[in-house]
Amino acid sequence: MVIQPLQPKALELKPEGQRGWRWLQIHAEPALQLQLDDIVVLNDGDRYRVMAVRHYEQYGYMEYELVRGYEYE
């Protein structure tokens, strides 16, 4: 799995308002099947919500956009 922050130009287009939301993009093997609105806990213990899913199974990976802005329950 590869985790990367979204590029600054892409961040400007996100509806962040005044919150300090943190957006990440994950490239993972197709075996990881996340759904929209799933919660992912990364190694740092922070919780992220799945906001977008892109299917690239034919190329051997899945792409997910995650956001952390406040504590999800």
pLDDT of residue 62: 94
User: What is the predicted pLDDT for the residue at 23?
Assistant: 87
Count how many residues are written for the chain.
73
Phi then psi for residue 69, to 5 deg, are -135, -35
- The arrangement of strands across the sheet holding 22-28 comes to 2-5, 22-28, 61-68, 47-56, 39-41
Give the residues of the chain that fall short of pLDDT 70: 5, 7-20, 69-73
The structural domains of the chain, with segments of one domain joined by +, span: 2-10+21-68
**Residue 12: per-residue pLDDT:** 57
